[in-house]
Structure 1
């Protein structure tokens, strides 16, 4: 449960906080956090989605997970914030979870939604456990303090694609959004094929969706990619509900790195630029099934 209070004040920083992070623009944080929101297929569970918060002297990280099938995260380096103070005499890091819907509601109430032109300063601060996670937003001279009940959480799932064989490409987010835009989003699954390097006019990325009525196929030729390292012929199915957050984020991202491992693990890395600061939102999605067309004879080198 979250508690909100508003008061006229010029002194919004609490005394002796072990961690304080300040930014001049709450809209940037709200916009980025919206890109990692996962909405369960069961509408009754939408308000129960939690977000894991981690912070240390290097920065602040937000993580959203759905079992072992979906993970999205964004890391804000300490340099992203106008002010960032962390007491090194405490723990090496702090980690807890809180309700994602309440966090976003608090951000959006104070004008961080699209179309709001006024900058809303924001700051996070934290005392030691078990005090709540605190956020202050300043709008038109009113400092509003939002306190969130925190919950203990285990370490997030660890996904690793760097130590296994994989295909790896970089493409304009706009081009990738166009490719996904031709699919049928009523289909429960999307099939992704990332094939071999066979020339600039060959279809390197093939996306397909099948509904009860028809099959939709979208392709991206190799010449559309800014970078390409594909040595295997890989093809897997993924749940549409896990793909959707990343696809929606493509509308505001600049570029996207797509990596597919031979085990079916899919990673999207969307790069955003806000206030001349570069942010990368990372998504890991596991395949629904492992009956892909990858075989040993497809391996090269």
Structure 2
């Protein structure tokens, strides 16, 4: 790859430089959180986090660890900027969404800091394209305050099991009800659509269940319109961690293996539907 050996032009000091041999490893993860046009990028020595939010009710984070990149340098403690995610994805796939077998698009990203554009250098088959994407002032991100000490229930499920659920449940329902319990039904997904109620149960000893740590019975409802964007990440993932905290907030963490076999994560946080009363459960 030619970019990894190229140094910045004379006099140019970048606060962020990153290189990938295969740009699809980044674009596929970003597609998994692309349900709004704009995203906030946050880079530290550990890697890159791309955050997308909607209606102050849902937040998605794509994590690309520094080790995934062939080169990753952050000159400051942290680098943060807002960007048009749709434009970013268009640039990453400028040579086409699917390359010919055996070919890939190499990527080098450079960012000089506040007020400067994000520079993308893309190369495929000897052809180099340079893209400049304007960056914006980052907005304050929601803090869901979802910490492990407050987690009440957690299961790890093979993604096939959840994909099956989303295909079988009635998506005309406004809400998805999730029950997690140390006793039966253990893990239940319920919808209440035009065709009536539908329930899908997973026993804790199911072949699809990789881990089951439930401390108390919790039943919460979440707007399906908020959860639907997470199915993009579900389609790419091999495992999903489903956690709820003591407020009923939901964390869906998807483990995704990229084309090179490396592991990345996409996490969705969703607040419970507050319009549902205890009497309705």
- State the 1:86 CA deviation: 2.5
Residues 11/277 of structure 1: CA separation in 2 closer, same or farther (3 Å cut): closer
* Residue 148 of structure 2 is aligned to residue 166 of structure 1: no
- In 1, Cα distance between equivalents of 2:58 and 2:82: 17
Q: How far does residue 230 in structure 1 lie from its aligned partner after superposition?
A: 0.6
Aligned to 1:241: 225
Name the structure 2 match of 1:179. 165
Q: Distance in 1 between matches of 2:157 and 2:122?
A: 36
Q: Distance in 2 between matches of 1:10 and 1:20?
A: 10
Deviation by residue 1:184-225 (Cα, 9 ceiling, x = unmatched): 2232221111122x3xxx432211222234222222121122
Cross-structure match for 1:57: 45
Q: Partners in 1 of 2:100 and 2:247 — Cα distance?
A: 44
Q: Is the 8 A contact 2:81 2:114 kept in 1?
A: no
Contact conserved, 1:235 with 1:292, CA < 8 A, in 2? no
State the match for 1:250 in structure 2. 234
Contact 1:192–1:236, Cα closer than 8 Å, also in 2: yes
Match runs of 1:1-301 below 5 Å = 14-15=8-9, 16=12, 17-38=14-35, 49-87=37-75, 91-111=76-96, 113-114=97-98, 116-117=100-101, 118-159=103-144, 160-196=146-182, 198=183, 202-224=184-206, 225-274=209-258, 275-289=260-274, 291-292=277-278
- Give the stretch that moved more between structures: 214-223 or 22-31: 214-223
Structure 2 CA distance for partners of 1:11 and 1:162, relative to 1, 3 Å: closer
Number of residue-to-residue matches in the alignment: 269
Structure 1: gaps (5+ residues): 1-8, 40-48, 294-301
Asked whether the 8 Å contact 1:172–1:255 carries over to 2, the reply is yes
Task: Give the Å deviation of 1:154.
Answer: 3.1
- Superposition RMSD on alpha carbons, in Å? 2.3
**Cα distance in 2, alignment partners of residues 10 and 288 from structure 1:** 47
**Normalised TM-score (structure 1):** 0.82
Kept in 2, the 8 Å contact 1:236–1:291? The answer is no
Distance in 1 of aligned mates of 2:196 and 2:7:
58
**Distance in structure 1 (CA, Å) of the matches to 2:173 and 2:91:** 33
Deviation at 1:292, TM superposition (A): 5.0
- Offset of residue 67 of structure 1: 3.2
Alignment check: 8 A CA contact 1:53 1:95 kept: yes
